[in-house]
Amino acid sequence: MNESEEPLLEIENLTVERSLPMGEKAIGLRNISLKLMPGEVVILAGEAGSGKSLFTRVIAGDPGGRTKILNGTVRFEGKDLLRAKQKQKRRHRSRAIAMINRHPQDQFNPDRTVQQWLRDAARLAYGPVDKERPKDWSELFYSVGIIEPERILPRRMCDLPALLLQRLMLMKALISKSSLIVCDEATTDMDRIAANTFLEVLLQVQKEYGVTLLMTTGNLTGMSEVADRVAILFDGAILESGPVDDVFARPSFDYTREFLGCSPKITHYPRELPTISREAIAEAEEAIHSGESIELGGATG
């Protein structure tokens, strides 16, 4: 990575409010600052409810109707997405930034065939496709691990397994020539073999096409082998961040150390799942509310 390069994505002091039932308000994200450089693989890790999905929705330009941006900027390729015109926001959502989440079936019209869906994806990316001469996507099929595309082209999206749908979402990112792929717990509902397979394909695509990856997860098993940097999210704030080897080997907070210990290992026999102590949680709460969260290096801002 060239240190003189400009960040692909730069978030500064992002604070987002969420509306709760009964009219109550809560802070969903607090003073988030994060930079992603071109070609990086960055992990945003945290427990359920820590704000991971809200963060990815803000980046995608669709935080939801029950949220309000209180402060901060989200710059993509130097342009502030939060203050961009609707046309520019739509372009980024459909082309430059690709989103892959844990429920791929929700991103497809179930009655469309794969071939119909590909035409729709191509139309969004670069205009109408000749109906008489389908575009040759063989190279992209092979890049995402689909070896015999002719067998799935006539099939309906609702008949495909989750792993294949995720491969197709990855292929859509390649069709659109997206420079940033955001995976919001994309492997959470997969079994271990399917999850590992998808991660291998994702990293192969990242290396082959030079895209930037931002992955959110609640399970850091194996992530030290795939990521450049990691940020630990707690209660909507980044508790600590830095090069993945530093955070894994020398975490600055007991919360991070205990969170890492909660990730299951394949060699573990069934046993009581570890939990995070009250003391570690109290330390993390004090750190984020007093502004003492830690950056261990890298380009996290």
For the sheet with 67-76, list strands across it.
Answer: 25-36, 9-19, 67-76, 79-80
Tens digit of each residue's pLDDT (9 = 90 or more) over 70-123: 999 999 988 888 887 776 666 666 678 999 988 877 778 888 999 998 888 888
Contact, 243 vs 43, CB < 8 A? no
pLDDT exceeds cutoff 50 at 52: yes
Tens digit of each residue's pLDDT (9 = 90 or more) over 222-235: 787 889 999 999 99
Evaluate whether residue 300 is within a structural domain: no
Evaluate whether residue 91 is within a structural domain: yes
Q: Which two tokens stand for residue 285?
A: 């709460």
Residue 103 confidence (pLDDT): 82
Evaluate whether residue 179 is within a structural domain: yes
Evaluate whether residue 253 is within a structural domain: yes
pLDDT exceeds cutoff 60 at 8: yes
Overall domain count for the chain: 1
Residue 210 binned pLDDT confidence (cut-offs 50, 70, 90) = very high
Evaluate whether residue 301 is within a structural domain: no
Tens digit of each residue's pLDDT (9 = 90 or more) over 246-295: 999 999 999 999 999 887 655 555 556 678 999 999 999 999 988 767 66
Percent pLDDT > 90 in the chain is 50
Contact, 75 vs 3, CB < 8 A? no
> Which CATH number do you get for residue 28?
3.40.50.300
User: Regarding predicted confidence, which is higher, 23 or 147?
Assistant: 147
Evaluate whether residue 264 is within a structural domain: yes
Q: Which domain holds residue 208?
A: 9-295
